[in-house]
């Protein structure tokens, strides 16, 4: 899409000042501590509404690979391991099935935000054609189950099971895995893909516990209460209900249109508006798909999307969506600079110009869609686009034209108080039958707190100790002192936020290659050297840092709620040359067979 805003017509100084004022309204001293941890008496908010828990005896056997997390990370790694002949991969997950975020997030309207053709992994291997450009949650969850079945990962999986401890047994060259179901089994290798967004959080609003109506978090949707189902059946039990939803992030953007259609009265409590761009979803044309789905198609699409996004070069843009639009606009502004203007400062200015243009368009879209002028004004996002998760939706803004839907803007302050009967904002009470918390997930807290265990590696040293000054890895996967452990996540690797599964598929492939090499070569242990880990961290720090969630952004989980995270923040970065270059580098590293930086050992047992 070509820009429709003229940058010369934008008063950049005034706009920056507006961004600064809006940010200042939202900064709060308590940062992440403003949120409540769902433990103790609040633990029931985490109960699984979808699958009954079944009793089973504790497991005490040995497997070659244990994988913690049954989302895309575990599935793609499990798939690559079984393809290579490792037939005893055990995936452990606190959920009742595979799916990870797609298991839990069954709120109405849940849908992927990145095109299905690159977002849904292993499409070619499993022969699945996504039914829409942006598939809905039930289809993605079903695809997770399809991968589980296709690669025979169900038999050894442990569901409704949380790992509570991981302990390295050096003499036995294996990990001892303990769980909350009394299991104590061993695994030669352990991989962790616990995901960044799996611990729901609630806002610590005064009076929160006094509410006498019904309430739940969006990741534990209560269809018993609302009626309807995840595939979009109308929520027929809300017709005479007054419902409040707290939060207007990516989750609320997707479920508000469904609530607006169903509720007698819907109140959307907003602290910071999301930027909501065009979605333009469409069903997949089977004939078109048959034409593109020639051997190797998904890898070509992945490479093309990533090249368009992160540090690569592509003549064409196969995916053509909001993400590639953002990247193309930034690039074309930079490429328009004269050769003598290609300085880092001018390039950052060009990037900023493209951001101003895009955000003006997004704000103009609100005026074009929302009938009520005051509501439209309040729905406008006043920050740079990558300060918060960009959203895309074609019904969210329209929902505010529904007669029963009301935006309650808190002007950056958040909900003031919750009473036994409702919610107070700016001194006015909104009486409610139900409060839905679309308040997101823990992100800025320690990795080990979110994981629920703190692995004890060589000599009993805990991962939290090794990472006391920030994350340290090789490729985002290997940690010195933690032999036979692999981490599956984007940071310190490609850091490709616009398509997280691509990071995971590449890590899965890498881990499988290493495990196969170790098993085939009779090696008991593999570990990154101290020097290789140090060199990698140094390389990461030589890069430009990240464009996402800079400290001067409006607060949110992208920038640790606007609080200084200290030197550790510098380590939340990716490969300096960008995602496409990282994937190429990793492919070369894998295929060379040298495994530079890793030590393989045979024990003397
Ligand atoms: P977010 O953390 O993005 O949003 C939480 C919301 O709660 C924010 O709007 C926040 O406001 C608001 N909030 C917090 N405290 C208060 C308060 N006291 N009063 C009023 N409002 C409050 O959570 P989401 O679940 O929406 O999204 C989390 C992430 O999950 C996304 O960023 C995205 O990465 C992922 N996601 C992806 C989807 C996809 O790919 N399809 C769909 C949905 C989510 P404020 O902004 O001011 O902090």
Q: How far is the CA of 434 from the centre of ligand 1 (A)?
A: 19
Residues 6+ apart with CB under 8 A from 127: none
- d(Cα 592, Cα 539) in Å, to the nearest integer? 21
Which of 62, 90, 68 has the alpha carbon at shortest distance from 174? 62
Q: How far is the CA of 268 from the centre of ligand 1 (A)?
A: 13
Residue with tokens 């839990």: 104
Q: Are 416 and 196 in contact (CB under 8 A)?
A: no
User: Residue 414 CA: which ligand 1 atom is closest?
Assistant: 19
Which stretches of 101-136 are DSSP H helices? 101-104, 116-119, 123-126
**578 in helix, strand or coil?**
coil
Q: How many residues does the structure list for the chain?
A: 605
Residue 312's pLDDT is 60
Instruction: Find the largest Cα–Cα distance for the chain.
Output: 76
Q: Please work out whether the CB of residue 439 comes within 6 Å of at least one atom of ligand 1.
A: yes
Q: What is the DSSP string of 252-288?
A: HHHHHHHHHHH-SEEEEEESSPPPEE-----BPPHHH
Q: How far is the CA of 296 from the centre of ligand 1 (A)?
A: 36
Tell me, letter by letter, the H, E, C secondary structure of 17-73: HHHHHHHHHHCCCCHHHHEECCCHHHHHHHCCCCCCCCCCCCCCCEEEEEEECCCHH
Q: Please work out whether the CB of residue 205 comes within 6 Å of at least one atom of ligand 1.
A: yes
How much of the chain is helix, strand and coil, in % rounded to 5? 40, 15, 45
Nearest CA to ligand 1 atom 1: 440
Q: Please work out whether the CB of residue 108 comes within 6 Å of at least one atom of ligand 1.
A: no
Q: How far is the CA of 69 from the centre of ligand 1 (A)?
A: 22
Nearest CA to ligand 1 atom 2: 440
Q: How far is the CA of 44 from the centre of ligand 1 (A)?
A: 21
Q: Please work out whether the CB of residue 330 comes within 6 Å of at least one atom of ligand 1.
A: no
Q: How far is the CA of 43 from the centre of ligand 1 (A)?
A: 20
Q: 302-307 long-range CB contacts below 8 Å, 24 or more apart?
A: 302/118, 302/499, 302/502, 302/505, 303/580, 303/583, 305/115, 305/118, 305/498, 305/499, 305/502, 306/494, 306/496, 306/499, 306/502, 306/579, 306/580, 306/583, 307/580
Q: Please work out whether the CB of residue 219 comes within 6 Å of at least one atom of ligand 1.
A: no
Q: State the architecture of 62-199+443-601 in CATH terms.
A: 3-Layer(bba) Sandwich (3.50)
Q: What is the DSSP string of 496-529?
A: -GGGHHHHHHHHHHHHHHHHHHHHHHT-SEEEE-
- d(Cα 7, Cα 376) in Å, to the nearest integer? 22
Residue 447's pLDDT is 76
Which of 209, 196, 223 has the alpha carbon at shortest distance from 137? 223
The CA distances from residue 35 to 45, 197, 568, in Å, are 14, 14, 21
Q: Please work out whether the CB of residue 148 comes within 6 Å of at least one atom of ligand 1.
A: no
Residues 6+ apart with CB under 8 A from 551: 559, 562, 564
The CA distances from residue 185 to 65, 75, 182, 190, 508, in Å, are 11, 20, 10, 12, 23
User: Residue 218 CA: which ligand 1 atom is closest?
Assistant: 25
DSSP state for residue 341 in the 8-state scheme: G
Nearest CA to ligand 1 atom 34: 389
Nearest CA to ligand 1 atom 45: 272
Q: How far is the CA of 35 from the centre of ligand 1 (A)?
A: 12
Q: For the chain, how far is it from start to end, CA to CA, in angstroms?
A: 63
Pocket test for ligand 1, best of 389, 407, 416 (most atoms within 8 A of CB): 389
Q: Please work out whether the CB of residue 279 comes within 6 Å of at least one atom of ligand 1.
A: no
Residue 20's pLDDT is 95
Pocket test for ligand 1, best of 33, 71, 207, 250 (most atoms within 8 A of CB): 250
Q: Are 217 and 437 in contact (CB under 8 A)?
A: yes
Q: Please work out whether the CB of residue 247 comes within 6 Å of at least one atom of ligand 1.
A: yes
Relative to beta strand 391-392, strand 405-409 is unpaired
Q: What is the mean pLDDT of each run of 10 residues along the chain (605 residues)?
A: 72 94 94 86 91 97 98 98 96 98 98 97 98 98 98 98 97 98 98 90 93 97 97 96 98 98 98 96 98 97 90 81 84 87 88 92 97 98 93 97 97 97 97 97 79 94 94 98 97 94 97 97 98 98 79 86 83 93 97 96 78
This prediction's pTM: 0.96
For the stretch 231-281, pLDDT in tens is 999 999 999 999 999 999 999 999 999 999 999 999 999 999 999 999 999
Q: How far is the CA of 386 from the centre of ligand 1 (A)?
A: 14
Q: How far is the CA of 273 from the centre of ligand 1 (A)?
A: 10
Q: Are 251 and 107 in contact (CB under 8 A)?
A: yes
Tell me what percent of the residues of the chain surpass a pLDDT of 70: 98
Superfamily of domain 7-44+201-279+349-437: FAD/NAD(P)-binding domain (3.50.50.60)
Q: Exposed (0-12), middle (13-18) or buried (19+): which is 79, by Cβ within 10 Å?
A: buried
Residues 6+ apart with CB under 8 A from 199: 38, 441, 442, 445, 450
Which part of the chain is CATH 3.50.50.60?
7-44+201-279+349-437, 62-199+443-601
User: Residue 389 CA: which ligand 1 atom is closest?
Assistant: 32
- d(Cα 143, Cα 123) in Å, to the nearest integer? 9
Beta strand spans in 146-263 (E): 163-169, 174-179, 184-192, 202-203, 214-217, 242-246
Q: How far is the CA of 440 from the centre of ligand 1 (A)?
A: 5
Residue 184's pLDDT is 98
Which of 431, 441, 445 has the alpha carbon at shortest distance from 45? 441
């Amino acid at each position: 899409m070509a820009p429709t805003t003229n940058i010369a017509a934008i008063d950049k100084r005034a706009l920056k000042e507006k961004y600064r004022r809006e940010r200042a309204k939202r900064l709060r001293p308590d940062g992440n501590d403003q949120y409540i941890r769902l433990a103790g008496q609040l633990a029931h908010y985490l109960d699984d509404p979808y699958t009954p828990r079944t009793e089973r005896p504790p497991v005490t056997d040995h497997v070659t690979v244990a994988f913690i997390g049954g989302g895309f990370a575990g599935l793609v790694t499990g798939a690559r391991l079984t393809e290579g002949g490792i037939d005893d991969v055990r995936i452990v997950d606190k959920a009742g099935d595979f799916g990870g975020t797609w298991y839990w997030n069954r709120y109405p309207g849940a849908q992927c935000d990145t095109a299905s053709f690159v977002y849904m992994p292993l499409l070619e291997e499993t022969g699945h054609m996504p039914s829409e450009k942006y598939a809905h949650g039930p289809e993605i969850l079903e695809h997770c189950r399809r991968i589980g079945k296709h690669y025979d990962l169900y038999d050894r999986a442990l569901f409704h099971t949380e790992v509570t401890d991981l302990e390295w047994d050096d003499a036995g060259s294996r990990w001892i895995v303990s769980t909350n179901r009394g299991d104590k089994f061993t695994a030669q290798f352990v991989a962790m893909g616990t995901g960044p967004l799996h611990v729901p959080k609630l806002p610590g609003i005064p009076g929160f516990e006094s509410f006498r109506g019904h309430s739940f978090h969006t990741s534990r949707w209560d269809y018993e209460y609302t009626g309807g189902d995840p595939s979009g059946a109308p929520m027929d039990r809300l017709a005479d209900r007054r419902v409040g939803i707290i939060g207007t992030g990516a989750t609320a953007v997707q479920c508000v249109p469904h609530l607006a259609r169903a509720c007698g009265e819907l109140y959307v409590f907003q602290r910071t508006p999301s930027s909501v761009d065009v979605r333009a979803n469409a069903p997949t044309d089977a004939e078109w798909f048959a034409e593109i789905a020639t051997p190797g198609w998904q890898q070509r699409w992945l490479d093309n999307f990533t090249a368009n996004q992160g540090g690569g070069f592509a003549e064409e843009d196969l995916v053509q969506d909001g993400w590639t639009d953002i990247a193309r606009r930034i690039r074309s502004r930079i490429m328009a600079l004269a050769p003598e203007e290609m300085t880092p400062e001018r390039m950052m200015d060009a990037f900023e110009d493209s951001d101003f243009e895009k955000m003006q368009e997004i704000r103009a879209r609100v005026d074009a869609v929302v009938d009520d002028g005051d509501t439209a004004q309040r729905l406008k996002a006043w920050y740079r686009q990558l300060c918060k998760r960009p959203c895309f939706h074609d019904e969210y803004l329209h929902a505010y034209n529904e007669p029963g839907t009301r935006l309650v803007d808190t002007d950056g302050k958040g909900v003031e108080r919750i009473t036994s009967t409702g919610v107070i904002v700016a001194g006015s009470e909104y009486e409610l039958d139900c409060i839905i918390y679309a308040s997101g997930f823990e992100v800025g807290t320690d990795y080990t707190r979110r994981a629920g265990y703190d692995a004890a590696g060589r000599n009993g040293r805990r991962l939290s100790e090794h990472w006391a000054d920030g994350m340290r890895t090789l490729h985002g996967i290997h940690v010195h002192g933690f032999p036979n452990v692999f981490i599956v996540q984007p940071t310190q690797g490609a850091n490709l936020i616009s398509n997280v599964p691509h990071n995971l598929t590449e890590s899965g492939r890498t881990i499988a290659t290493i495990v196969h090499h170790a098993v085939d070569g009779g090696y008991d242990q593999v570990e990154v050297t101290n020097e290789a880990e140090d060199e990698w961290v140094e390389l990461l720090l030589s890069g430009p840092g990240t464009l996402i969630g800079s400290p001067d952004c409006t607060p949110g989980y992208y920038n640790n709620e606007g609080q200084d995270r200290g030197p550790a923040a510098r380590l939340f970065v990716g490969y300096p040359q960008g995602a496409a270059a990282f994937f190429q580098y990793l492919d070369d590293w894998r295929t060379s067979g040298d495994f530079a930086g890793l030590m393989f050992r045979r024990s003397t047992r």
